[in-house]
Structure 1
Amino acid sequence: MAARSPQKGPVMEFNRLGRSGLHVPALSFGAGTFGGSGPLFGAWGDTGVDQARRMVDIALDAGMSMFDTADAYSDGASEEVLGAALKGRRDRVLISTKAGLPLGDNANEAGSSRFHLVRAVEAALGRLGTDHIDLFQLHAFDARTPVEETLSALDDLVRSGKIRYAGASNYAGWQLMKTLDAAERHGWPRFAAHQVYYSLVGRDYEWDLMPLGLDQGVGALVWSPLGWGRLTGGIRRGLPVPDGSRLHRTAQFGPPVEDEVLYDVVDVLDQISAETGRTVPQIAINWLLRRPTVASVIVGARDERQLEQNLGAIGWELDAEQVARLDRAGAQTPPYPHYPYVRQEGFARLNPPAVPIA
């Protein structure tokens, strides 16, 4: 296939990843749709190698140079397809992958033990066709394995050159802080990144994890920025969920959202879409790009058209009044012990929130 001509479009922004020296693109490509199979990943997409290469072309033309995957995505098929699609241009990209979720029934086929992590990294390197992983993240907290064992294994993997940076995904605040503290005490690699769910209809990240990230220098990589497909523009008040929506097949796997919260947010997104000429997904992603700690927003795509639309989220900014309207639309009363800091002025003076409270 002939090489693509560089596309004219906005220049990709790059952000420092937490306290590390690594800079990552504001938008990263989520490869969960690559090689999709099973009830969850099959519903996301089933992109093969040829189409994946074309999507990598589009991403690199736009400066989207980080690609995120995991061994649990379609039992490693996502890593295999991504590795094949990146062949010959490994030096132009950052590869982010994850391990730790169960891959089988054997007790050692899951978690963050030294045994499993070393095997998981070796297997991922083989599937990706590379000699190193730029960002390796623990897919979930393993309460059965001492954090010291996990971090010592990661230290060995960094020293061997098999991984460059370490991170976590889906950790609670105390789990992340416990791990950071152990790394500090022993001189092991600190987590540079925390891959988290965050969207206009899912703002739990703001209460504990965002302030922790600010305080400890941990950058956020945001997954599912469109609220598990709810903010694509097809779901609106008074209308049924469109037949083609993946919510019909995957809603039970994803974060719940109250209908009225969703409709309130979509109403405002529609208003701002009319004002700006931008699509609903572009506005929802752009709102995330300016939030504290957010280093990169991971966007997926089932086809080239969807990818190019998502790339339209960069190169422009919402104004302050539009941001405030979106903040208000998705605002919810936080759980204890956070709500006194919102509801009572004395508490808020002592511990102001990481973002303005609508």
Structure 2
Amino acid sequence: MVNYRYLGNSGFKISEITYGNWVTHASQVENEAAIKTVHAALDAGITSFDTADAYANTAAEEVLAEALKGQKRENLEIFTKVYFPIGNKGPNDTGLSRKHIMDGIHGSLRRLNLDYVDLFQAHRYDHETPLEETMQAFADIVRQGKALYIGVSEWTAEELREGHALAQELGFQLVSNQPQYSMLHRVIEEKVVPASEELGISQIVFSPMAQGVLSGKYLPGQDAPAGSRATDEKSGADFIKGLLRDEVLEAVQKLKPIAEDAGLTLPQLAIAWVLQNQNVASAIVGASRPEQLADTVKASGVTLEADVMSAIEKTLSDVAVTDPELTYSSAPKERLV
């Protein structure tokens, strides 16, 4: 079963592995199959579920609601997000203005068929809205009981400090950040993680398997497997292109004996690696087939020995992305419409 960790400096616990439906529900995977994977996640002990209003232009939230129908609400931790354009994608259908945040929480609750979400997240930083306006709206949502906790996604260390300070002034907690993080993408380590540790903010990381590259199924010099994410324009093919270089794929293949010596599969090694970082509360995983989750959840509770961590570091040192300056390019400078 899956272990739990506290989220930030709060009393709220989430499962070390979170089920996410970014590129699967209402997109890559048919609804019936999506519902089966959610049920498999529940059977495996996953109780934390991450979605967003922008996923499949709101349809992913509806699929998740259908999949969780009949589950005891108090036994689940449900996260969603607001920022990216949704609906008709008009001038106020995007960003972190008070209007869009309020419209966002009401729309998400309606689609998810919930009275509240456990975690409501700013999907990116909005450079066009005063941060005070954004944080006041979040404070009001918490006071209204529509969200229990507030988090963000892909914020820089400086943005986290400013947001945390305003949250304290307004009487609520900023408990989490949701960045991309994996063996191959480590840009948060130098600035974001230390700032978060100081502030009492956890990371809920996405793409811990680097869009599936760390599964080892993509081989150097060969076409991507049929039906994989790299071949499906609807399921994130653009996101994975930069990782499909031969030097990256060759390095990943060298991880196989390291995983085998540790008694793990490559996906388990990838998930276990991000969970070695104690500032990481949970790793978000997706699945297109229920059986994939049975393998993934076995990474929870695994401790990687120092020699294993060292071997991974040596193997990927030439291909891992570590530049902290890349955290400053994660949020658009202008709202997307």
Which category describes the TM-score, using the shorter chain as reference length?
Answer: 0.7 to 0.9
Structure 1 segments, 4+ long, off by >4 Å, are 332-338
Residue 61 of structure 1 aligns with an amino acid whose one-letter code is D
CA contact (8 A) 1:268 1:326 kept: no
TM-score between the two structures when normalised by the length of structure 1: 0.83
Q: Mapping of 1:19-58 within 5 angstroms?
A: 19-36=9-26, 42=27, 45-48=28-31, 50-58=32-40
Residue 4 of structure 2 aligns with an amino acid whose one-letter code is F
Residue 115 of structure 2 aligns with an amino acid whose one-letter code is D
CA drift of 1:238 comes to: 3.9
- Residue deviations 1:108-155, cap 9 Å, x none? 000111111111100000000010010000101111111111111111
Q: Mapping of 1:60-209 within 5 angstroms?
A: 60-89=42-71, 90-103=73-86, 104-184=88-168, 186-209=169-192
Partner of 1:306: 292
CA drift of 1:54 comes to: 3.0
Provide the C-alpha distance between the structure 1 equivalents of 2:51 and 2:107, rounded to a whole number of angstroms. 13
Provide the C-alpha distance between the structure 1 equivalents of 2:225 and 2:75, rounded to a whole number of angstroms. 38
1:13 aligns with 2:3: yes
Residue 41 of structure 2 aligns with an amino acid whose one-letter code is A
CA drift of 1:333 comes to: 8.2
CA contact (8 A) 1:98 1:139 kept: yes
**Residue correspondences, number:** 319
CA contact (8 A) 2:24 2:286 kept: no
Change (3 A) 1:134 1:336: closer
Unaligned runs of 5+ in 1: 1-10, 37-41, 339-358
Identity of aligned residues (%): 34
- The match for 1:278 among 264, 279, 284 is 264
Q: Mapping of 1:267-346 within 5 angstroms?
A: 267-331=253-317, 334-335=322-323
Partner of 2:335: none
SS at match of 1:235: coil
- Residue deviations 1:72-115, cap 9 Å, x none? 00011110011111122123211100111111431100011111
SS at match of 1:266: helix
Provide the C-alpha distance between the structure 2 equivalents of 1:336 and 1:301, rounded to a whole number of angstroms. 29
Unaligned runs of 5+ in 2: 327-337
Provide the C-alpha distance between the structure 2 equivalents of 1:203 and 1:217, rounded to a whole number of angstroms. 20
CA contact (8 A) 2:39 2:67 kept: no
Q: Mapping of 1:179-258 within 5 angstroms?
A: 179-184=163-168, 186-248=169-231, 249=233, 250-254=236-240, 256-257=242-243
Change (3 A) 1:295 1:337: closer
CA drift of 1:34 comes to: 4.8
Provide the C-alpha distance between the structure 2 equivalents of 1:247 and 1:321, rounded to a whole number of angstroms. 32
TM-score between the two structures when normalised by the length of structure 2: 0.88
Provide the C-alpha distance between the structure 1 equivalents of 2:248 and 2:212, rounded to a whole number of angstroms. 11
Partner of 1:8: none
CA contact (8 A) 1:269 1:284 kept: no
Higher RCO (CA < 8 A, seq sep 6+): 2
RMSD, aligned α-carbons: 2.2
